[in-house]
A and B are shown apart, each in its own frame.
Chain A
Amino acid sequence: MPTDTLPVVPVGEPTPDEIADGALWRDAALRDDEYVRACEMLGRRPTWTEASIVGVMWSEHCSYKSSKHLLRTLPTEGPHVLQGPGENAGVVDLGDGWAAAFKVESHNHPSAVEPYHGAATGVGGILRDVFTMGARPVAILDSLRFGPIDGDGADVHATRRLMAGVVEGIAGYGNCVGVPTVGGEVVFDAAYARNPLVNAMCIGVLRHEELQLGAATGTGNPVLYVGARTGRDGIHGATFASIEDPHGRERSAVQVGDPFREKLLIEACLELFATDTVVGVQDMGAAGLTSSSVEMAARAGSGIEMDLDLVPVREPGMAPFELMLSESQERMLVVVKAGTEHVAREIFERWELDCAEVGTVTDTGEIVLRASGEVVCRLPLAMLVDDLPERRWPVERDDSRLPKLDLAAVPELAAGAAGETLLRLLARPTIASKRWIHDQFDSMVGAATMIRPGSDAAVVKVHGTDRAIAASIDCNGRWCSLDPRAGAAHAVAEATRNVACSGGRPLAVTDCLNFSSPEVPHVAWQLEQAVAGLGDACRALGTPVVSGNVSMYNRSGDIDVHPTPVVGAVGVIEDLAHVTRSAWTTAGSLVLLLGATDVALDGSEFLVSEHDLVAGGAPPIDLALESRVQACVLEAIAAGLVRSAHDCSDGGVAVTLAESAIAGSVGATLDLGALATRDLRLDELLFGEGASRIVVEVDADRIEELAYIAARHDAPLTQLGRTGGDDLVLTRDDAPLLRIPVTELANAWTTALPTLMNSEPHA
C-alpha cells in the first residue's frame, strides 16, 4: 500500500506507535494476541480509529467468537424458511404469500445499570432488526429474569425497583411506538439477582416480495444515513456487553431511547421500501455505524467509503472513533439506487427525520473513512467479518456444580398439606399472575391481538387474511443449570408446545443464549451442551433456528447466571377457528392429560419453594414423543375437538389445572390416580414437572374422536374427570387430596405480584 494513502491521525488521538507502546489497544477492547493479529493482517499498526473498529467488530457481542463454532451446528434450514441467520432477522413463510420476520435479542447489561433505558432501547433495537427486513412489526414478547422479589432486605427492594424500571422501560417504548407487547415470561431466581436478563423478541409481518436485505451492492450507489442524529451515547456499548460485571461499568455506555422518533423511522422506512429504490438496509444497532456499514458491504462482497463530516450529529467535535462507535438509537443505514436519493430525502423530510448521503458503495473490499478531507481509516472488510479470531475456551464439566437429588432425604408431602402447598406455589412470583406487569403494556394496539398475555402463546391475526401468528418465548434456566443439554431441549419443546396448544403449527425458532463467562470451563461446557440440546430439539421438532443472539459474561461478583438459552417459537394458525386458549370454557367438559406421564421433582419449582433445594437433573424428555404430542394436539384442535389446551409446566399438573380453572372461573373434579404409571410420591404426582404434557378440555360426546387421534399419534391420553362446580377437587384413586374454591386459588395467584410490588390488584 503506498504510504500516501495511509490513514492520518486526527489531532488529539494517539498515534499507531503510541498505541503500540502504551498497550492502548486494551482500551479499544482488543486482547493482546488480537492486537498482534490485527497488525499482522493489516501489515502495519492500526490507528486509533481503526483499532476501535477492529476492537468492536471482534468483540464477543459482534463476532460471536466464543460461540460461532457451536452455532454452526444448529439446523437453520427448512421448507418454510425464507431467510435464516446472518441477516437482521429470520423470515418464515406463513402461506398465501405472507411471511413473518422475527428475532430475539438481549439487553441484559444495560438494563442492569439503567433499567428504564436499558430495557427501552432493547425493545427499540429488536424492532429495528425486524422492520429492516421490510416487515411491519406486529408483536413484541419479553423474557425477563430477576432476583427474588419476595422477602425483605436491601437486595429484594433493589430488585423490585429494577423490575419496575425494566417494565416501565418496555412499556414506555413499546406502547409509544405502537407495537403490542403480547406475551412473554418472567422468572425470579437468585441466580439473576445482580445480573438480570432482559430479552426482547419482535415479530413483523410482510409479503414475500417486500423482503429487504442488508447488502450494499452496486458500485457507486449512495449510502444514506437516516433517522436520529449521532451523539456520544452508547460508545463502547457492544464491548461493554462483552465484559464481565455490568456494575463495574458506567451508565454512560447505556443508550437513551426515543420511541417517538422510532415510530417515525418505522413509517418512513416502510414508505421508502415501498418505492423500490432501496438496494440494502441495516439498522445501526450494536457498534452503530461501524457494524452497519461493514456488515452491509461484506454481505455484498463490495466495499464502502464514507465521509464522517457528513454524518448528522447532535454536538460538534466528535472524533471519528466516536462517530463510528456511538450507539445512538433510531438510526439506519440505507443504500439506494444511484439517482433516486431524492425519493428517500423527500420521505424522511416529511417525517421530520435526518437523511444524509454519507458515502458510496465501492468495489475495493475495504471500508474507507474520511474526516476533514483526510482518510482516517482504511481496513479490509475480510478482516472485520470473515477472518475473525475464534475462541475455543477450555471445556470442562464441574460436577461440584451439579448437585445430585436424593429424593429419599426429602420428606414426603403429607396428604393433608396438598392444598396449602398448591396455594403457596400459585403465589410464587415465577408462577403467579403477571398481570401487574402485562397491564402496563399495550397488548392490543394494532387491533390484531387475539390472545393477550396470560395464555400459553400469544396470538396475533395477520390483517387481510384468515391466518394468525402464534408465538411463545420460554426457558427453564434452573433445568439448564442442572442439565444444559436437556434443559435447552426443554426450552424448544416448551415454546413450540405452547404454540401448538394455541392452535399454531410451529415453524421456526429464534434463540437468545444468555450465559456467564465462557472463560470459565464449566460455563463453556454449559454453552456447548445447551447448543447441542437446542440442535437436538430443533431437528426433532422440525423447527430450525432462523435468528438469534448470544449474550455472555452475565455474571456479577461470584454469581453466574443460570445458563439460559431462551427460545422464541413462531407458528402459523391457518384458520382463526383453531385459536385455542388455556382457560377452561365451560362446565361438563372432560379433562384429560395428553402426552407423557413421567415426571420428576428434579429442578422443580416445588423443591425450591418447599425445600429450598435446587438439585437433580432436568426432567426426562423424549423428543420423538414431544413431536407426536404436538402433532396430536394440533390435529385435535383442527378437528374442532379441543375446547381449551394448557401446557403443563412450572409447578406440575396441580398448578396447570389450577391455572385453567382460574382463567376460566370454573372448577373441576379430577382424579389423578391414573397418572401414576410408577409408584409416584404424592409431591411427584402433584408438582413433578416434565415435558410433552398438555391438559386438554373436550366435549364429552367427542372423546372417542380424540382417543382415535391420540392412538394414531401414539400419544398417551389419560382421562382425569370433568369440569364444573366452584371448587377444584383433586383425588388420587378416589382418596381426597384437596378441595379449594376457584376464587381462593385465583386470589392466591392474582394478588401475589401486586402485593409484593406494593400496589392494589386490578379487579
Chain B
Amino acid sequence: MTSVAVIVFPGSNCDRDAARALDDVLGAGTATLAWHAETSLDGIDAIVLPGGFSWGDYLRTGALARFAPVMGAVRVAAGRGVPVLGICNGFQVLCEAGLLPGALLRNDHLHFRCDEVPVEVASSDTPWTRAIAPGRTLQLPIAHGEGRFHADDAVLDELVRDDRVVVRYAGDNPNGSARAIAGVCSAERNVVGMMPHPERAVHAWMGSDDGALLFESLRLTLAAGSTDMNDTSELELTGAH
C-alpha cells in the first residue's frame, strides 16, 4: 500500500484537502497527516507539503516553516529520492528550505488572487508529471498572494536548459512570475513545487479533474519501483542479470 505523508504545519489549511485528494485518486488510506514536530518520515513513499499559511506566513511565506523539525526528515527523504510535492505554501517552504531554487514574491498586482487558470505541463520528467504529455494544458485552481516566481537570469536560464520548469501559466500570467513559471523541480527532479492546487481539481464536480493526473503520475512512478529517474539505468542493469 502506498503511503504518502502530508505535512501539517501550524497554519496549513490545505492539508486535509491534499490528503482527501490522495485517498480519492490513489485509494483510501494512502495519505497520513504528519505533524510538523515529527523528526522521521521512515517508510513513507512520497511527501506532500500542502498549501496554507504556515505560521501565519509571518515574517515571510515559508520562512518559519523551514525550521520545523519535520523539514529535516523531508530533506533526508528528498536526498534519498523520495518524491516530494510542495503546493502553494508548500512550494514557498521548499524554496525557503533551499530544496528548490528561486523565491515566491508578492503578486505583481499586489492582490491575493483566486482563479482557475490554464497551466501547461512543460516537463513530464518528474515523479509528479510522468503521466502527462509535455505541452498538455491542465485547468488548475490558483489561490495566493505571493506566487510571483523569481530567480536571477542565470538560474532561470539553467532551469529552462535543464528542463526543470515543470509547469507554466499558459494563459494570462496571474502574478507576474518570471517566464510564466508556475512550478519547478530540483536538479535531481524528485522535488517539485508549484503554485496551482492540483488537490482542488480531482473530480469533475470541482470544475476540473486535471489535478488527478499529478497523483496518477505518482502512482506510475511508484509502480515503476524507483523514485529516482536517474536510477532507471540501474533498474535496467538489474533487469539484465
Is there contact, CB below 8 Å, between B114 and A443? yes
> Which chain B positions have C-beta within 8 A of A264?
10-11
Within the complex, what minimum Cβ distance (angstroms) separates A59 from chain B? Answer: 32
A759 CB-CB contact with B under 8 Å: yes
Q: How far is the CB of A294 from chain B (nearest CB, A)?
A: 32
With A258-B56, A447-B17, A447-B200 as contacts: A442 and B11 at CB distance below 8 Å: no
**Contact partners of A461 in chain B: CB under 8 A:** 205
Question: Is A576 in the interface zone, CB < 8 Å from B?
Answer: yes
Question: Of A175, A261, A438, A759, which one neighbours B109 at CB under 8 angstroms?
Answer: A759
A463–B19 Cα distance when bound, in Å, is: 13
Partner of A445, one of B13, B202, B206: B13
CB of A708 within 8 A of chain B?
no
In chain B, positions 2-45 with a C-beta closer than 8 Å to chain A are 10-11, 13-14, 17, 20-21
Contacts of B178 on A, CB cut-off 8 Å? none
Docked CA distance A450–B200 (Å): 11
Q: Which residues from chain A contact B58 at a C-beta distance below 8 Å?
A: 260
User: Are the CB atoms of A260 and B114 closer together than 8 Å?
Assistant: no
**Is residue B79 contacting chain A, with contact meaning CB distance below 8 A?**
no
Using Cβ atoms and an 8 Å threshold, which residues of chain A touch B51?
445
When distances are taken between beta carbons in the complex, the residues of chain B under 8 Å from A340 are none
- Judged by a CB distance under 8 angstroms, whether B98 is at the interface is no
A419 interface residue per 8 A CB criterion: no
Q: Is A171 an interface residue (CB 8 A)?
A: yes
User: How many residues of chain A are within 8 Å of chain B by beta carbon?
Assistant: 34
Supposing A439-B111, A447-B21, A762-B115 touch, asked if A576 and B205 sit within 8 A by C-beta, the answer is yes
A442 adjacent to B17 (CB under 8 Å): no
A445 touches B143 (CB 8 A): yes
Q: Are A260 and B11 in contact (CB under 8 A)?
A: yes
CB nearest to A466 among chain B residues = B205
Question: Which residue on A lies nearest to B37, using beta carbons?
Answer: A350
With A260-B55, A263-B13, A762-B172 in contact, do A447 and B199 touch (Cβ < 8 Å)? yes
B81 within 8 A of A: no
Partner of B206, one of A178, A447, A763: A447
The one of B20, B53, B171 in contact with A263, judged by C-beta atoms closer than 8 angstroms, is B53
Q: Per a CB cutoff under 8 Å, which of A176, A447, A452, A763 touches B11?
A: A176
Q: Which of A258, A264, A442, A461: most chain B Cβ within 10 A?
A: A442
A-contact 0/1 string along B166-183, CB 8 Å cutoff:
000001101000000000
B115 touches A439 (CB 8 A): yes
A352: interface (CB < 8 Å): yes
Residues of B within 8 A of A258 (CB): 56
Q: Interface residue count for B (Cβ, 8 Å)?
A: 33
Q: How far is the CA of A287 from the CA of B54 in the complex (A)?
A: 30
Chain B residue contacts of A178, Cβ below 8 A? 13-14, 52-53
> Is residue B113 within 8 Å, beta carbon to beta carbon, of the partner chain?
yes
0/1 interface trace, chain A 442-478, chain B, CB 8 Å (1 if under): 1111110110100000000101000000000000000
Closest to B8 in A: A267
* A444 lies within 8 A of B141 (CB): yes
CB distance A446 to B112 under 8 Å? no
B residues near A442, Cβ cutoff 8 Å: 112, 114, 143
Contact of B114 among A176, A259, A441, A447 (CB under 8 A): A441
A760 within 8 A of B: yes
- Rounded to whole Å, the gap between the CB of A443 and the closest CB of chain B is 5
Give the nearest-CB partner of B115 in chain A: A439
Contact B56 A447 (CB under 8 A): no
User: What chain B residues lie within 8 Å of A763 (beta carbons)?
Assistant: 171-172
Least distance between B116 CB and chain A CB atoms (Å): 8
* Partner of B10 from A260, A443, A444, A449 at Cβ < 8 Å: A260
Is A126 among interface residues, defined by CB-CB distance under 8 A? Answer: no
Looking at the assembled complex, report how far the CB atom of B170 sits from the nearest CB atom of chain A, in whole angstroms: 12
Q: Are A263 and B11 in contact (CB under 8 A)?
A: yes
How far apart sit A522 and B62, CA to CA, in the bound complex (Å)?
Answer: 55
Let me know if A393 is at the binding interface, CB within 8 A. Answer: no
Does A755 count as interface, using CB distance less than 8 angstroms?
A: no
A440 touches B53 (CB 8 A): no
A762 to B142, CA, bound (A): 13
A351 within 8 A of B: yes
**In the complex, chain B residues whose CB is within 8 Å of the CB of A449:** 206
Q: Are A440 and B56 in contact (CB under 8 A)?
A: no
- What are the 10 closest A-B residue pairs judged by CB atoms, nearest first? A178-B13, A260-B56, A447-B17, A763-B172, A442-B143, A176-B53, A447-B200, A440-B112, A442-B114, A444-B200
Residues of A at the B interface (CB closer than 8 Å) are: 171, 175-178, 258-261, 263-264, 351-352, 438-447, 449-450, 452, 461, 463, 576, 579, 759-760, 762-763
